């Protein structure tokens, strides 16, 4: 009924990794010893010098650890706690074992004497027993630091390119310890230089006993010994927890590929959002035909972690993770969206299962919202059906969850009249099959979980006529250039499949005593602009494509001209004696050969992928192009009309080919997955520019469900999109 190698992370890598060059077996005063702690904090921070040879990674990321018989029992809980925290954040499976349990490879914690701090016998897996020596009462940060050595990380300031980022003041360093500041010459360096790493030395590490007077520099609470400082002369502090680059480095090293998808329709939906709040957007893709526990087409969702060097497998989510039962043909993951619903700086994942049976009614549909914990792992948060908050009744064949959108509308005021900050983003969830495919859209607003007893706002909007499939597509944006957002709803089968789009005005925030007030009100119905237009409203995007004025509405009509397809740009304008608010500003046809069956306009996404100006680009999917191999087109925003910039296929990714029947371009999503890239960037610069579109450029994810994949294209300052990887 409805439509149907590992890449480099932010690391320095050992280019040559013979055992003698990479394994470290030294005393506490030698190369891989760590300075004594101060105030329970390890002196160092991060280490991205890792063995490029995977033979030196712990097999399958499994790391047994044990305690020597003489290891102080009072220190054991600290070690356990540190390792449990690492396991929550890293793709590592730690197991506590007895040292004499017969395992071949393991880390042994032993007590050392005659020093403070700790050391790791080896950097990376070295077969057999390898020791971490603790010389004094440990902190969790010390244990974490030493365990990261054992997992394969050297110190950050050992990078061969460190001279661009730090200054080493050799005169300030103890001459017996200065070899600790040597670089690793046999390394290949790439990635964000990370002052925040738990493997980076702090200013003052290994200070000489009587340094020159000029070494003593102010540190805000006294003086510090300027052994190592940032290139601008500022000090490097103690880092007591793993940084984002530490964590991402471990995913480069140890993440395992997801099982091969085969006929699961991976890529039928994609969503991009920063689930762990690290500044790199992550990617979720639905596999709605994945069998789960023997239930065919029950569906699952896979989440990939965004890093400076690409995407790495991270999480798998099934209905069991949200308290549902995986049943045949639920197709969990058929639709998805990502948005920071609770406004805490980390995105939630919204997952639609429009074929889910509810109360025994087939294809009624349901939606789950998953919220990240402090490690970014997505957990059950809220679920929705047609009867949530008493808004409607469950009906068979409604396909509730087929359209998903979130936006900051439907807010309310406090008793004093101020806008209440406790309200999160509102959800719009469509059920285009409801009431003989008349269709409906359900709106849900709710206060955030930290604001006390929850308050709710709801509204149900229905379509005009049977068969319209009102709600097939949804979008939210500021098309009126005022303080409230508008809801845009597509009905691609209205008017004998010519299609229609309806615009709803976002209502002003409701009074605290009137939460039942409408969240939106109908503004205008926009009809298909041409007699040949078909399926107008099958896809929608709202964005500022010009530098002035309100957002515009991009409307896909993939059935136009025997499914050649077209996209129409509408804008709110006041025209004398014209009662309509929205007027056609541009008709976009494919910037290549226009052929029946291309389905140009099947999917749309707007993103500022070329941020030399402030307007957005429009990316358009044509999954029927070239015998359904598929293509995407990029149109550059500007003061006047959008201009053709690129047409891209799978073959624009190195090593990939454009395969027939791939349906490349079926689904689209955008976000800054790569952050600022990996060239000459420090963690300070990264932090300063989070959210800055001139530096954190959006990337675009393109689904190809017929071959169970999606592709990543990176935004670029000057050339639009550049093919990066196929997943």
* Bridge partners for 188 per DSSP: 13
The candidate with the shortest Cα–Cα distance to 518, out of 484, 543, 491, is 484
> CA 440 to CA 392: how far, in whole Å?
10
Question: Distance from CA of residue 649 to its chain's centroid?
Answer: 23
CA dist 566 and 205 (Å) reads: 63
Q: Is 596 exposed, middle or buried (0-12, 13-18, 19+ CB in 10 A)?
A: exposed
Which one of the listed residues 32, 146, 434, 599 is annotated catalytic? 146
Q: Which residues are annotated as a binding site for Zn(2+)?
A: 145, 149, 155
Strands 12-14 and 49-51: parallel
* Burial class of residue 167 in the structure, from the number of CB atoms within 10 Å of its CB (0-12 exposed, 13-18 middle, 19+ buried): middle
What DSSP string describes 115-181? SSSEEES-SS--SSEEEEEE-SSPPHHHHHHHHHHHHT---GGG-TTGGGTEEE-GGGB-TTTGGGG
Question: How far is 427 from 443, CA to CA, in rounded Å?
Answer: 6
| DSSP per-residue codes, 381-410 | EEEE-TTGGGS----TT--TTSEEEEES-S
Q: What are phi and psi of 592, to 5 degrees?
A: -165, -160
Length of the chain: 727
| Nearest CA among 432, 569, 560, 409 for reference residue 490 | 432
Is 625 one of the annotated active-site residues of the chain?
no
Place of tokens 């298909």: 528
> What does the DSSP assignment read for 45-76?
----EEESSGGGSPGGGEEEEEE-TTS-GGGH
- Cβ-based neighbours of 461, under 8 Å, separated by 6 or more: 440, 441, 443, 470, 489, 504, 520, 522
| Residues catalogued as catalytic | 146
């Amino acid at each position: 009924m409805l439509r149907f190698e590992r890449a480099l992370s932010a690391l320095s890598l050992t280019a040559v990794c013979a055992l003698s060059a990479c394994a470290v077996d030294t005393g506490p005063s030698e190369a891989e010893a760590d300075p004594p702690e101060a105030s329970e904090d390890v002196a160092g921070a991060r280490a991205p010098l890792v063995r490029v040879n995977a033979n030196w990674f712990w097999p399958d990321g499994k790391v047994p650890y044990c305690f020597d018989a003489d290891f102080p029992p009072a220190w054991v809980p600290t070690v356990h706690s540190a390792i449990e925290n690492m396991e929550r954040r890293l793709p590592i499976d730690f197991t506590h074992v007895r040292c004499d349990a017969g395992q071949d490879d393991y880390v042994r914690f032993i007590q050392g004497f005659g020093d403070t701090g700790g050391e790791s016998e080896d950097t990376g897996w070295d077969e057999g027993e390898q020791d971490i020596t603790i010389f004094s009462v440990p902190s969790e940060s010390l244990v974490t630091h030493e365990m990261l050595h054992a997992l394969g990380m050297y110190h950050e300031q050992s990078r061969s390119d460190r001279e661009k980022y730090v200054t080493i003041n050799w005169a300030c360093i103890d001459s017996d310890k200065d070899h600790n500041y040597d670089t690793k010459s046999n390394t290949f360096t790439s990635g964000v230089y990370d002052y925040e790493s738990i493997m980076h030395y702090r200013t003052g590490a290994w200070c000489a006993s009587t340094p020159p007077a000029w070494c003593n520099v102010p540190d805000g609470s006294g003086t510090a010994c300027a052994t190592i400082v940032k290139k601008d002369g500022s000090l490097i502090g103690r880092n007591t927890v793993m940084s984002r680059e530490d964590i991402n480095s471990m995913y480069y090293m140890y993440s395992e590929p997801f099982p091969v998808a085969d006929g699961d329709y991976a890529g039928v939906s994609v969503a991009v959002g920063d689930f762990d709040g690290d500044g790199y957007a992550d990617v979720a893709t639905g596999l709605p035909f994945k069998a789960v526990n023997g239930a065919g087409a029950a569906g699952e969702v896979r989440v990939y972690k965004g890093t400076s060097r690409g995407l790495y497998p991270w999480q798998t989510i099934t209905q069991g993770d949200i308290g549902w039962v995986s049943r045949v043909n639920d197709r969990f993951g058929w639709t998805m969206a990502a948005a920071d619903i609770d406004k805490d700086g980390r995105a939630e994942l919204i997952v639609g299962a429009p074929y889910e049976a509810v109360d025994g009614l087939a294809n009624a549909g349901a939606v789950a919202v998953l919220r990240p914990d402090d490690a970014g792992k997505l957990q059950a948060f809220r679920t929705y059906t047609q009867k949530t908050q008493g808004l409607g009744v469950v009906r068979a064949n409604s396909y509730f969850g087929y359209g998903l959108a979130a936006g900051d509308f439907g807010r309310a005021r406090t008793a004093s009249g101020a806008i209440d900050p406790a309200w999160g983003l509102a959800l719009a969830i469509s059920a285009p099959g409801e009431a003989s495919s008349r269709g409906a859209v359900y709106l849900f607003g709710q206060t955030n979980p930290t604001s006390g007893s929850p308050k709710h706002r709801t509204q149900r909007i229905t379509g005009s006529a049977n068969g319209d499939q009102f709600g097939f597509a949804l979008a939210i944006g500021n098309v009126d250039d005022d303080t409230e957002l508008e809801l845009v709803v597509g009905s691609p089968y209205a008017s004998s499949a010519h299609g229609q789009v309806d615009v709803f005005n976002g209502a002003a925030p409701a009074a605290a005593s009137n939460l039942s007030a409408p969240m939106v009100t109908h503004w205008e119905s926009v009809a298909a602009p041409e007699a040949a237009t078909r399926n107008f409203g099958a896809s929608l995007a709202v964005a500022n494509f010009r530098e002035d004025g309100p957002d515009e509405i991009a409307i896909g009509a993939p059935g136009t001209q025997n499914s050649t397809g077209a996209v129409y740009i509408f804008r709110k304008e006041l025209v004398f004696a014209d009662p309509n608010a929205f007027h056609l500003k541009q008709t976009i046809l494919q910037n290549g050969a226009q052929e029946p069956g291309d389905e140009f306009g099947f999917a749309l996404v707007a993103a500022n992928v070329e941020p030399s100006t402030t307007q957005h680009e429009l990316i358009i999917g044509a999954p029927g192009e070239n015998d359904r191999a598929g293509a995407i087109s990029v149109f550059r925003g500007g003061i006047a009309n959008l201009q053709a910039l690129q047409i891209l296929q799978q073959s624009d990714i190195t090593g990939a080919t454009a395969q027939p029947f791939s349906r490349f371009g079926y689904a689209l999503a955008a976000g800054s997955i790569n952050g600022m890239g990996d060239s000459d960037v420090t963690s300070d610069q990264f932090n300063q520019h989070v959210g800055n579109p001139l530096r954190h450029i959006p990337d675009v994810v393109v689904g190809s469900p017929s071959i169970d994949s999606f592709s990543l294209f990176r935004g670029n300052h000057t050339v639009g999109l550049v093919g990066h990887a196929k997943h």
